[in-house]
Amino acid sequence: MSEGSQLDFFTLLGLEKSYDIDQAALTASYRQLQRSVHPDRFAGGDERQRLLAVQKSAQINEAYETLRSATRRAAYMLKLAGHAVDTSATTFQDPEFLMQQMQLREELSDLHDAEDPEQALDRFYADVDNALTSQRQEFQGFYELGDYDAAKSSYAKLQFLEKLRYEAEQKESELLDF
């Protein structure tokens, strides 16, 4: 294993280990790194060098994609803290969140009959995005307090919301007939 591949994603991208990251700094350092390792830099090089560049470049892409997404960043930070999340079985005892989920699901299933589905879809995205924003704040609060169990449950909620968003995208494809 080379030294570079052992670096955690924050170090690899030259950032402080914190949930609240500077997106601009992340992007700037990502681009700088890709400039030096992207396979295009080795288009004239030998096969091995190119293959190595593909691997390094893929690793940097993974680090960037992980840190850039607030949900994936949350999972990654839990893993770094030794609290890797099991994504398969999660149940909630939070009635408020369950209620919100039910409302959002209903909104999603009603999209078909909406007078203007495109507009209804836009509203739905906005609702999910709002819920995501407040859930991220909750996650950050618990994580910084070191309450990893609460942070994990908060992460699970983030995942649920992301899944809803994904389902909405699928629905959008159906509705708009791509």
Partner 1 sequence: MALMQISEPGQSPEPHQRKLAVGIDLGTTNSLVATFRNGSLQVLADEQGRALLPSVVHYADSGSVVVGDEAQSFAAEDPSNTLASVKRLMGRSYADVSATEQLSTYELIDTEGMVSLNTRAGVRSPVQVSAEILRALAERAQQSLGGELQGAVITVPAYFDDGQRQATKDAARLAGLNVLRLLNEPTAAAVAYGLDEKEEGAIAVFDLGGGTFDISVLQMSKGVFEVLSTGGDSALGGDDFDQVIAAWAMEQTGESNLDARQRRQLLDACRAAKECLTSAETAELRVAEQTLSLAREQFNALVDPLIDRAIRACKRALRDAKLSSDDILNVVMVGGSTRVPRVRERVAQWFGREPLVDLDPDKVVALGAASQADQLVGNRSGDETLLLDVIPLSLGIETMGGLTEKVIHRNTTIPVAMAQEFTTFKDGQTAMAIHVVQGERELVDDCRSLARFELGGIPPMVAGAARILVTFQVDADGLLQVSAREETTGVESQIQVKPSYGLSDTDIADMLTASFDAAGEDKEARALREQQVEAEALLQSLSAALLADGEALLSEEEQRELLAKMEQLHNEKASGTAASIARQIEIVGAASETFAERRMDASIKKALAGRRVDEL
| Separation between Cα atoms, residue 94 and residue 90, nearest integer Å | 12
Smallest distance from partner 1 to CB 123, Å: 14
Q: d(Cα 160, Cα 99) in Å, to the nearest integer?
A: 13
Chain contacts with partner 1 (rule: CB under 8 A) = 2-4, 12, 14, 25, 27-29, 31-40, 43-49, 52-59, 61-62, 64-65, 125, 169, 172-173, 176, 178
Pick between residue 56 and residue 73 the one whose CB is nearest to partner 1: 56
User: Which amino acid is residue 106, in one-letter code?
Assistant: E
Nearer to partner 1, 44 or 146 (CB): 44
Cα–Cα dist 171/148, whole Å? 34
- Whole-number minimum distance, CB 84 to partner 1, in Å? 14
CB of 58 to partner 1, least distance (A): 4
Residue with smaller CB distance to partner 1, 53 or 151? 53
Torsion sign over Cα 137, 148, 72, 27: positive
Rounded least distance, CB 93 to partner 1, Å: 29
SS3 category, 45: coil
Cα gap 115→104, rounded to integer Å = 18
Please identify, using beta-carbon distances, which residue of 15 and 150 lies nearer to partner 1: 15
